[in-house]
A and B are shown apart, each in its own frame.
Chain A
């Protein structure tokens, strides 16, 4: 029997604001426990939450980047629940009138393009963080309470784990390039819940749904879905019924484990939030935000490949993060040859980042300095060997490359009046090499180049030296 899978994803993004959604408490990852909270976050009696304008701005950016329809009127609602991660005993979210609806993103799986629908996206507040001890207590940190979230709910349009993986990858890239979120799963600024059901091919009615929450990585998403497809098939084939339930993925065994069987819908008793005024989103504001949207990753890729002539693979490496793409664009804007810039970014700069375990936005090398190095290679001021030394100095200490090259006397030696006599001298001193050259041994030339490099302490322009040597040897 053949089965069809139906997969839907709910993705939470922390929006990159400086303060919380309903209170001016600062938001910074890794602050000491309970130091970024105030009376509003603690829901002290009499406080009045007030909405952070930038939360809408960032949310609208994502809505625009995913072709979603922004609702002209929205309001917030209370979702009631009791749990120590939220002192209010309710979460303020958008249940009835979300920020936007009916968007889509386009993915490519196994060479086939497919549109995955976005059902809706809404703004809400994050809850605090509980750490469960083994001594019968939990420990609550409310720093995360009130951090703005954007929840993006897909349509159940995905039919296998690969499509889910492709959707997530694309969605993360789109959101990242708007600058609305850091999209770091390891820091919790992007969190994924999945829903999957299967049904026999030909059956119209969907099967019972299994939900998996808080998956740690895209890889876990793919593996847990693949496991669930198999598990649910086995259940159905053996005549059983799939339980409507929540399961969690166990990385060590690669299996999913039952967490909770659902009996009826959870009862959240939603009602319109009386503390927050309804919001009217004007078309003028939307237009303004649209005009400020950073260039999309797709437009950038097109520019890199078609205008700059960069290989698709290299373009994709640059486009792995917005920071790296911005760095690249700034390097090219500062006058670097686009192909050389791509090469240096993807090999030397990335090599350094991997070795030092740092991010591109935290290094001392500036795009301007990298452009200077590349320009000096291009115009023959320095050899590529020297360039690596200059690069190392610049990325480690932020040194100005041009000044460094001048101060250290690293300028490449291309002056014929200096090099010509040197070449003659070296050839005179090595008759054996002349002999070898005549006998067709090409590496003789390499030896002689080496001699000249030694003489000039690596500064001779290898291209010029090669030409001079060839001419000299042939004349003998």
Chain B
């Protein structure tokens, strides 16, 4: 059984750029622990000789042709953007991108 600690919650919160209060941390640690442990019940199923799967929906090799289409306009898409400037989405500056390509 996996033990979820407060540190785990802090780590995941940091990755998601979220900050929690001490109370919230306590609460989420307990809730997250319950969720993980519930999911862990799946491990009790005997999966010997069952091939590994990455998909449970019965679909395979679904392609579309390379045909460009214009759907929504910029104005429609940006209706919910809180701050915009000259067609750009304006966001607080974050230079320090994690290590992603």
Q: Which residues of A are at the interface with B, using a C-beta cutoff of 8 A?
A: 10, 12, 17-19, 24-27, 32-35, 37-39, 42, 50-56, 75, 79-85, 89, 91, 96, 131-133, 136-142, 151, 193, 213, 246, 260, 262, 266-269, 272, 274, 276-280
Contacts and interface: CB of A to CB of B under 8 A. Distances in A.
Nearest 8 A/B pairs, CB to CB: A26-B68, A272-B54, A139-B88, A53-B63, A277-B59, A54-B66, A33-B87, A38-B71
Contacts of B59: 277
27 contacts: A12-B101, A24-B67, A24-B68, A24-B71, A25-B68, A25-B69, A34-B88, A38-B71, A50-B62, A50-B63, A51-B62, A75-B54, A81-B100, A82-B17, A83-B94, A83-B97, A89-B16, A137-B93, A138-B90, A138-B93, A139-B91, A140-B89, A140-B90, A246-B99, A260-B96, A272-B54, A278-B61
A374 B16 CA distance: 65
Contacts of B94: 83-84, 138
B97 to A, nearest CB: 5
A361 B92 CA distance: 42
Range of interface residues on B (Cβ < 8 Å): 35 or more
Contact of B92 (A12, A56, A137): A137
Contact of B99 (A33, A96, A262, A277): A262
Interface of B: 11, 15-17, 54-55, 57, 59-72, 74, 77-78, 83, 85-101
Contacts of B99: 246, 260, 262, 266
A33 B86 contact: yes
A51 to B, nearest CB: 6
A267 B72 contact: no
B60 A280 contact: yes
A391 B2 CA distance: 77
A427 B98 CA distance: 85
A277 B62 contact: yes
A193 B69 CA distance: 33
Contacts of A25: 68-71
Given A24-B69, A34-B89, A151-B101, 15 more contacts: A18-B68, A19-B69, A24-B71, A38-B71, A52-B64, A52-B66, A55-B66, A84-B91, A131-B88, A138-B90, A138-B91, A138-B92, A213-B101, A262-B99, A280-B61
Contacts of B89: 34, 84, 139-142
A349 B62 CA distance: 46
A75 B99 CA distance: 23
Contact of B77 (A34, A53, A136): A34
Contact of A136 (B15, B63, B67, B93): B93
Nearest to B56: A274
Contacts of B74: 34-35, 37
Contact of B15 (A34, A80, A84, A139): A80
B8 to A, nearest CB: 11
Nearest to A273: B54
B85 to A, nearest CB: 6
A262 B11 CA distance: 16
A276 B86 CA distance: 34
Contacts of B78: 34
A279 B16 CA distance: 30
Contact of B100 (A10, A26, A266): A266
A31 to B, nearest CB: 11
Contacts of A89: 16
Nearest to A19: B68
Contacts of B91: 84, 137-140
Nearest to B93: A138
Nearest to B69: A24
A133 B93 contact: yes
A277 B64 contact: no
From B54, B77, B92, B96, residue with most partner A Cβ within 10 Å: B54
Nearest to A277: B59
A137 B86 CA distance: 13
A37 B75 CA distance: 11
A79 B68 contact: no
B101 to A, nearest CB: 7
Contact of A18 (B54, B63, B67, B70): B67
Contact of A39 (B17, B60, B72, B87): B72
A80 to B, nearest CB: 7
Nearest to B64: A50
B57 to A, nearest CB: 7
A458 B55 CA distance: 77
Contacts of B62: 50-51, 276-277
Contacts of A142: 89
A33 B77 contact: no
